[in-house]
Structure 1
Amino acid sequence: MKNSSIKIALYLNYFVFAILLNSVGIVISKSINVYGVTESSASILEAFKDLPIAIVSFFIASFLPRLGYKKGMLIALAIVFFGCLGMYYGNSFWSAKLMFLTVGVSFALIKLSVYSLIGVITNDSKEHSALMSSIEGFFMVGIASAYFLFPAFYSDTNPDAWLRVYLLLAVLILASFLFLAFSNIQIDAETSGSDWKEDIKNSISLIVIPLVLVFICSAFFFVMIEQGVMTWLPRFNEKIFSFSEKLSVQMASILAISLAIGRFIAGWLTKRISWVKIVIGCAALSIILLLSVLPQLKTDGDVTTLSKLSEIPFLGFVLPLIGLLIAPIYPLLNSAVLSNLSKNLHSPMSGLIIISSALGGTLGSRIVGTLFEKVGGVNAFYFLIIPIILLIISVLIIQKLIKNKANAVQS
């Protein structure tokens, strides 16, 4: 089991960061209710998380192989450890911004390492797709855990009790750090190559490749969809379905669970069905689901607050199931592009993936948050249909470019 320690480390680190990254919707809701900020102001937390991911990824993507993937992940865990402690002791909207800043910087290092190492420890495109979907699926398990972990610390008498979750997360991060530090991971840092300025130049040069350019657009559109839903679903549940604050967060777990299931299924399906058919089919069904559910939700909440599972309306269970449909898209898109590039380009390409994803997440969350405040939650979610359509168009172009490349190689 040559790569078992590497895989365990990848799964464990991704799990911890899944909880932190996608708690942004929970913290947004808490910032509105506890710190008294508006929806549009609270949406800036997404930018504090995503923009550092984009910036750090841009500058470090090609340098990371020489720094060493293990060392990069250890640095990331150390940074976010102090970010969690800062959130607990700071207890303010500003400390939330700084906490997500540390999460963004750290996750850039983690994700670059994970995506690059997948290419190192797999042998072909099918194995790459399977491991990519599996790890992304486990990421969703971490997200689902967050929707139960945070409410477990809620208190009706102490508005600050929820902050204790960050002490627990700090312990988990420390455990992950120690496991990685003492793991027998034999991936040496690369010592050859040019300086970081030329590395950045090489990364930028990838953009001129048509396949890469179209893929960047598709990744941007997808994350705009995913983060638009994931970040604002707890608030949507609270305002549109009139769930209690605790129930709103817990019901959002259905989205994360369905995303996890969808990505695990994708890892199995991709061995039997073309990834293009899976992605387009899932995107089309997502549009159908939104057009079926949203017209039935006409007002921003009722007078009665619902706090029990038995009181939840049928549509409250149906809407989060969009996660099952969008789940396969991201890992299959990533794998399709990475497996069609040489392995020495995986690190800079991973950087571009993360940058486009971060920008898409920030813009998507910001737009949905602003629309939520101005025109209501239901109309804000209608907006998501636009990037879904653009995503389908991008995937069709990617398929054509991959076919053209394959035909050129054969001839």
Structure 2
Amino acid sequence: MTSKNQIKLPLMLSFLIFSMLLNSMGAIILQLSSKISYTGLGFLESFKDIPMAVISLFCVNLISKTGNKNALIFSLIFIILSCIALPLVDAFWFFKIWLSIVGVSFALAKISVFSIIKNNYKDKELASTISSVDAAFMFGIFFVNIGFGSLLTSDYAEYWKFGFWIIALFSIATVLMIRPLEIIEIPASEKKIFSGGLKFLLKPKIIYFFIIIFLMVLVEQSFNSWLPSFYKNNLKISTYFALQSSAFLALFSFFGRLITSKLILRFHWFRMILICLFIIFIILGISQILITYFYEDYKYILVFLIPLVGLFLAPLYPLYNSEILNKIPAEKTHYFVSIVVICSSLGSSLGSIYMAMIFYHKMSYFYPIFIFLPLLIIFGLTFVLNKTPITYDRKR
């Protein structure tokens, strides 16, 4: 019988792989910004997010038939083929196709991974596993920014797209690890225990959660894809150090989620979220003051200060997810996660457009303030989410 730790490792590797792909946008934007306008680059991410959102609902029945493990393997095979092809096609239009493949594959993978976690882990163990898997996601951001940052400043910068072949190798290794695993699947006889169809998605607590997730991803996207451009354009820092800003952000985020996977076993999720949000507000406030009044004297402090947000921002997404996922019936997990993917996709796409417009209108000196605003809404909704109960009716 496969142990839970044996299941957790390939799930973490899967999220690390998709993290590297989804968050390579910082490097792609820097490389293409001399040829493509910021407005055009802002919409480039939509080629990933819109297919991800659309396919997430349609693939639910497919995943139910093939099983979560097979669906995850299929998603990684798509990534292997697309990453091998990317450096061989020297055209901007192929980035759009490649991003669409990444988006569709991630939709399959995320629904599969969250369903595997739901079926194989319970309660605080589930929350801890989600935090561990999401920690791997943050380490992927760190790894891809360090990797591309080093490659783009080396003598082989013109071959930067071949870095995606390394991701293809990771994907092959992960597929080989997943294949022999014995993973619990929900039997077909148990998939209609709860009445009401998809009406459970209209529960007030679920709706508040979806809004929070949308805003959370919008904020994370504002950091992950656009922080390097902010450092390069506003603080006049080199391309290498601009990319390392995202690497530091990811490294702090990795530690934030790793620590959360331990603390959630001892502390209540609501208290942890409030503490994290308060500290984020303080860091963003100090950063904006330094940018506005002490820009020349403290710009290199900002290189480290703003990424420190990751230590407290990263725990929020898995904490919200685990709180609601624990309350969702197992047979509804596919549909629930598909809506999470849609909200995340819309948040990612609109987050990139939101930042692109800010940069286009030359308002990026107020970068921390524009991130502060959606976090205020999240702060208010968190109180409502905590106070709202959730119940389900069973068929008898």
Please state how far the C-alpha of 1:63 moved relative to its aligned partner. Answer: 4.1
C-alpha distance in 2 between matches for 1:194 and 1:281: 38
Select which of 245, 249, 255 maps to 2:249.
Answer: 255
Q: TM-score, normalised by structure 2?
A: 0.91
- Alpha-carbon distance in structure 1 between the residues aligned to 2:181 and 2:346: 35
Asked if residue 296 in structure 1 is aligned to residue 290 in structure 2, the reply is yes
Report how far residue 108 of structure 1 moved.
0.6
How far did 1:153 drift? 2.2
1:363-402 aligned within 5 A: 363-402=350-389
Rate the CA distance shift 1:194–1:399 in 2: closer, same or farther, 3 A.
Answer: closer
Gaps of 5+ in 1: 196-200, 303-310
**Deviation beyond 6 Å, 4+ runs, structure 1:** none
Count of residues in correspondence between the two structures: 388
Residue range with higher mean Cα deviation, 74-83 or 317-326: 74-83
Alpha-carbon distance between aligned partners in 2 of 1:210 and 1:372, rounded to the nearest angstrom: 36
Residue identity matched to 2:362: V
Cα RMSD (Å) of the superposition? 2.6
* C-alpha contact 2:120 2:184 (8 A) present in aligned 1: no
**Alpha-carbon distance between aligned partners in 1 of 2:189 and 2:62, rounded to the nearest angstrom:** 11
Give per-residue Cα distances to partners, 1:313-342, cap 9 Å, x unaligned: 112110111111111110000011111122
Partner residue of 1:176? 174
Matched, 1:185 2:185: no
Over 3 Å counting, the alpha-carbon distance change for 1:405 and 1:98 in structure 2 is same
The separation in 1 between residues aligned to 2:61 and 2:213, in whole angstroms, is: 20
Question: 1:318 is matched with which residue: 277, 300, 305?
Answer: 305
8 A contact 1:238–1:244 mirrored in 2 = yes
Mapped to 1, the partners of 2:145 and 2:90 lie a distance apart of 20
Name the aligned partner's letter for residue 125 of structure 2: E
Matches of 1:168 and 1:267, distance apart in 2:
28
Range with bigger deviation, 99-108 or 286-295 = 286-295
Whole-angstrom CA distance in 2 between matches of 1:365 and 1:284? 25
Q: Is the 8 A contact 2:15 2:137 kept in 1?
A: yes
2:98 paired residue number: 99
> In percent, how many aligned pairs have the same letter?
26
Partners of 2:269 and 2:112 in 1: CA distance: 24
C-alpha distance 380-155 of structure 1, shift in aligned 2 (>3 A): closer
| TM-score normalised to structure 1 length | 0.88
Inter-CA distance 193–289: structure 2 relative to 1 (3 Å threshold): same
Secondary structure of residue in 1 paired with 2:226: helix
Q: Which runs of structure 2 are paired with 1:198-213 in the superposition (5 Å)?
A: 202-203=197-198, 205-213=199-207
Instruction: Report what 2:144 is aligned to.
Output: 146
Per-residue CA deviation, residues 50-81 of structure 1 (Å, 9 max, x unaligned), is 22221111222354232211111111112122
The Cα of 1:155 is off from its aligned counterpart by 5.0
Call closer, same or farther: CA 1:59–1:190 in 2, change over 3 Å: farther
CA contact (8 A) 2:151 2:157 kept: no
Distance apart, 1:268 and its partner CA: 1.9
Whether the 8 Å CA contact 2:201–2:336 is kept in 1: the answer is no
The answer (yes or no) to whether the contact 1:84–1:169 under 8 Å persists in 2 is yes
Contact 1:66–1:190 (8 Å) recurs in 2? no
Structure 2 partner of 1:306: none
Higher mean alpha-carbon deviation, 153-162 vs 113-122, is at 153-162
